Structure 1
Amino acid sequence: MPQTNTPTPCELKTVGLTPFIYRSNQPLFHVSAGVPIGEALAQASDLLFLAKAFAEDAAYTKDTDRHAWAAHYLTTMSKAVIDDVVQVLTA
């Protein structure tokens, strides 16, 4: 049987195709290409941790919506990173 050169997970990197935060139907940001997926997922985890904290603050702070918006943007960025990693893993 021919041997294939399947990359190990440590060698896989983000593809950088996933946009996020749109303005006028145009993406303002994209995930960067070439980031090792382990580092990308660690960053997404950190962003989600902060988003959870801001969402909890938003639930208790009624005089402002800044915590809710911060949580929204952090989850949007996290989702983009995870979606980009999924593209790599399912390619």
Structure 2
Amino acid sequence: MTKTDSSATSELKTVGFTPFLYRSDQPLFHVCRGVPIADALAQASDLLFLAKSLAVDAAYAQDSDRHAWAAHYLTTMSKAVIDDVVKVLTRRPVQSSSTAGQ
């Protein structure tokens, strides 16, 4: 992993390209564009914590389908947020036309 400028990283925001929860081969939801990545990752962490708790409940309780499905949806949402942040962190800078041919 490369070292990044923390002030530049703190200004990065989600791009909003990542869909999740598909129905009939079309995404029902997308990650919102323009959320600071620190806030987006904090939200993903909260969602994953809740999903973990629900998965534990589902493992030990009878008739726990609702716990398992809730955990599934929370992890799907979390993955989309993290994938969107990764797109921001790994995108290449846009080259200007004057430097593209050099």
Relative to the length of structure 1, the TM-score reads: 0.91
Q: Which runs of 4+ in 1 moved over 6 A?
A: none
Following TM superposition, by how much is the alpha carbon of 1:18 offset from its aligned partner in structure 2, in angstroms? 0.1
Count matched residues. Answer: 85
Name which one, 1 or 2, has greater alpha-carbon Rg.
2
Following TM superposition, by how much is the alpha carbon of 1:59 offset from its aligned partner in structure 2, in angstroms? 0.2
Residue aligning to 1:61: 61
Q: Which has the higher contact order (CA 8 A, sep 6+)?
A: 1
Question: Secondary structure at the residue paired with 2:16?
Answer: coil
Deviates more, 1:55-64 or 1:74-83: 55-64
Distance 1:59 1:42 in 2: 26
Question: Secondary structure at the residue paired with 1:21?
Answer: strand
Residue aligning to 2:33: 33
Structure 2 gap ranges (5+): 1-6, 92-102
Structure 1 gap ranges (5+): 1-6
Provide the alpha-carbon RMSD of the alignment. Answer: 0.9
One-letter identity of the residue aligned with 1:64 = S
Relative to the length of structure 2, the TM-score reads: 0.81
Q: Deviations over 1:33-71 (max 9, x none)?
A: 000000000000000000000000000112230000000
Distance 1:82 1:35 in 2: 12
* Contact kept? 2:57, 2:64, Cα under 8 Å: no
Distance 1:8 1:64 in 2: 44
- The within-5 A match list for 1:1-91 is 8-91=8-91
Distance 1:63 1:16 in 2: 36
Distance 1:34 1:63 in 2: 40
